[in-house]
Structure 1
Amino acid sequence: MMEHMGKKKPRPRRSFTREFKAEIVELCQRGDRSIGQVAKDFNLTETAVRDWIRQAEVDTGRRDELTSNEREELAALRRENRRLREDVNILKRATAGSGCPSTTPAEPRDAHAPRRSDPGTAARKSSWPRPGGPGRHAARRTDANAGRDANRPPRPR
């Protein structure tokens, strides 16, 4: 007995024609019966009837929202967009293993760096300029020569 209390069976989803919805909206807008009463008389949910009234107000320009035609167009565009994205993903997967340079994204590289594919332009190690600056011993070298005459050679280490 306790499991039946407070539990309602979910109502199956139904679809209605535009003409039927327009008749229900017209009944509600006449003012003879309340929205709740109209919904009860036609075995509809009050929420559905309120949504139909709101949409009718939008379609007639009394409310600023998407019209029914705009909603249909938006839904169609979203379906098309979803289908096109799936097509692009399929094409990406199909061309990923082909090794075609036009389908693989270019890697950003330093304009001055030698190309890896050309062995003749291999980078040569250079001692100067050092990448991180003069180095950590630069201060020591200048300190060792501090106060010396410019004509005298540096002190041997």
Structure 2
Amino acid sequence: MRKPQRKFTKEFKVEAVKLVQSRQKPLAQIARDLDISDSALHHWCKQFSEQREQAFPGSGHQTPQEEEIRQLKRENDLLRQERDMLKKALGIFSRPQL
């Protein structure tokens, strides 16, 4: 049976990365002390070094690029709906009157 997946806060991850960066203990020892896997801690360190302040956005939070893409897709959908309504209205009003 699998263990339930644990969730860690952004603050916990940042503090764990700072412990690794301080070089007081090896990464493996820090991971054991925090009761997390070596690979998870290594992944957090890599993510933090690449993204700094945007690292670990959390559930439902996105990077600025992802947020912009989401907004643009939403706007695109709305514009398509408006276009389709205008096409239907044009078809209705352009019918010959009886």
Shorter-chain TM-score range: 0.5 to 0.7
Q: Distance in 2 between matches of 1:97 and 1:15?
A: 51
DSSP-derived class of the 2:89 partner: coil
Residue 40 of structure 1, aligned match among 32, 39, 45: 32
DSSP-derived class of the 1:98 partner: helix
The reply on whether 1:9 has 2:23 as its aligned counterpart is no
Partners of 1:25 and 1:49 within 8 A in 2 = yes
Residue 54 of structure 2, aligned match among 68, 74, 82: 68
Alpha-carbon offset, residue 59 of structure 1: 4.8
Aligned length: 85
State which structure, 1 or 2, has the greater radius of gyration over its C-alpha atoms: 1
Structure whose residues are more often helix by fraction: 2
Alpha-carbon offset, residue 15 of structure 1: 4.1
Letter in 1 for 2:34: F
Identity %: 19
Partners of 1:55 and 1:68 within 8 A in 2 = no
DSSP-derived class of the 1:44 partner: coil
Residue 41 of structure 2, aligned match among 32, 38, 49: 49
TM-score (normalizing by structure 1):
0.43
1:99-136: CA deviations, max 9, x gaps? 27xxxxxxxxxxxxxxxxxxxxxxxxxxxxxxxxxxxx
Q: RMSD between aligned alpha carbons?
A: 2.8
Q: Structure 1: where are the runs of 5+ without partners?
A: 1-7, 61-66, 101-157
Letter in 2 for 1:68: Q
DSSP-derived class of the 2:50 partner: helix
TM-score (normalizing by structure 2):
0.62
Displaced runs of 4 or more, over 6 A: none
Aligned residue in 1 for 2:23: 31
Letter in 1 for 2:5: P
Q: Structure 2: where are the runs of 5+ without partners?
A: 56-61, 92-98
Which structure has the higher relative contact order (CA within 8 Å, separation 6+)?
2
Q: Distance in 1 between matches of 2:21 and 2:79?
A: 49
